Structure 1
Amino acid sequence: MHWRQIPLGILQTNCYLLYNEKKDCVIFDPGAEGKKLLSFLKKERFNPLAILLTHAHFDHIGAVDEIRDEYQIPVYVHKKEAGWLGNSAVNGSAHFVPNHPVTAKPADKFISEEGVFEVGPFSLEVFETPGHSPGSVSYYSKELEVVFAGDTLFKEGIGRTDLVDGNAEQLLRSIHDKLLSLPEETYVLPGHGPVTTVQDEMDGNPFLNGY
């Protein structure tokens, strides 16, 4: 398996592809620029099987419908954010981009618990990592030694908690109990910015010192 990072939109939200040698893939957080993403998928002959949302903030869902409609594939989100895709007030777009509210049709399937997540040939471990948002989840691939962490943990940073139902203590607990418990060599693939590792964040993330 392989992965690829594709920053999209004005906030440069990291969309990720997880794919195999046959170019079957799952798409994490197609946040914006649907036409650009579609063009890339078709040019590279990818075969998308599902869209996985780490959470449902507007900058992570902007291209959901365009990709879903083109490939007729299911969208997954945590059940706690089932109503967020269609609600610009809770997904943040009403506040941050009031002249261009971002919405999407409801998700097709819902994450309701931690455990092994399988779609097509892909098998991942899903962790509930709330704090940035109540339904934030992270997807871990032991085979690739990567975790798709959404906006929970960044290089030398953590997710903001001043949005709808954010919780700072919960966020730090999610990071400590779930992400920092992974092998130190695990690559952390964040929702924004550069890739980091569990080891680097344990050693140098100023927000985690002393927790």
Structure 2
Amino acid sequence: MILKALEISTMGVNCYIVGCEETKEVAVIDPGGNPRGIVRVLEEEGYKAVCIINTHGHIDHIGGNQGVKDATGAKILIHEADAKMLTNSVSNFSFLMGSKVTSPPADQFIKDGDIIKIGNTVELEVIHTPGHSPGGVCLKTGNTIFVGDTLFQMSIGRTDFPGGSYRELINSIKEKLLCYDDEVICYPGHGPATTIGFERENNPFL
């Protein structure tokens, strides 16, 4: 499996490129910014972006959608509950930063239990984890989960934004993520990777 964690994304967001070694087809998860840098990595490595997956619709995770889509033709996937954030600068909070950044609309809605196939070898299972936002999702493949802003090392996603819910987020983590084995690796939207076991034992919110 191809797995690249890009530090070139802006606003402190982790952008991940995940895909199939055989076909070089990849998904770009949360291109928060610097689409030129992301596209440059795709071109240098010979990867073909077939989809852009947004774990949720906040501006720091969708800011590069337009540039990556324009350069690659990749489809944009997001949960329907967050879809309006793509095209509305008030809903995605970019207006709070003094700008009005939007994304092309979703090409496809994803929901809990969906399987997104990338090339011949990679399948991403969609796990709906509302709380940070109504349509927040995580993406599991093998022993790896891309957890967006649901879970961080020793922390959790903010719930003070409109549409956030602390109760929902804690329930999402406990019911949808802590059910996995301790050694499962979690790649968050911000900060370093962690594991289910480490968070189960050390996360003060859990």
TM-score category (smaller protein): over 0.9
> Once structures 1 and 2 are overlaid, which stretch shifts more, 32-41 or 133-142?
32-41
Separation in 1, partners of 2:130, 2:31: 20
1:160 matched to 2:158? The reply is yes
Aligned 8 A contact 1:9 1:59 in 2: no
Aligned 8 A contact 2:19 2:119 in 1: no
- The alignment of Structure 1 onto Structure 2 pairs a total of residues equal to 204
Any residues of structure 2 matched to 1:1-211 within 5 Å, and which?
Answer: 1-22=1-22, 23-95=24-96, 97-98=97-98, 100-121=99-120, 122-142=122-142, 145-208=143-206
Percentage identity across paired residues of the two chains: 38
Separation in 2, partners of 1:20, 1:157: 31
Partner amino acid, structure 1, of 2:129? T
Separation in 2, partners of 1:63, 1:11: 11
Shift of residue 120, structure 1, vs aligned partner: 3.5
Aligned 8 A contact 2:77 2:109 in 1: yes
Shift of residue 183, structure 1, vs aligned partner: 1.5
Shift of residue 146, structure 1, vs aligned partner: 0.5
Structure 2 spans left out of the alignment, 5+ residues: none
Aligned 8 A contact 2:10 2:34 in 1: no
Separation in 2, partners of 1:40, 1:10: 15
Separation in 2, partners of 1:41, 1:177: 35
Separation in 2, partners of 1:117, 1:10: 26
Aligned 8 A contact 1:8 1:31 in 2: no
Partner amino acid, structure 2, of 1:184? D
Structure 1 spans left out of the alignment, 5+ residues: none
Aligned 8 A contact 1:92 1:163 in 2: no
Aligned 8 A contact 1:180 1:198 in 2: yes
* Partner secondary structure for residue 106 of structure 2: coil
Separation in 2, partners of 1:203, 1:2: 30
Separation in 2, partners of 1:117, 1:34: 22
Runs of 4 or more, structure 1, over 6 Å off, are none
* Partner secondary structure for residue 189 of structure 1: strand
Separation in 1, partners of 2:101, 2:78: 16
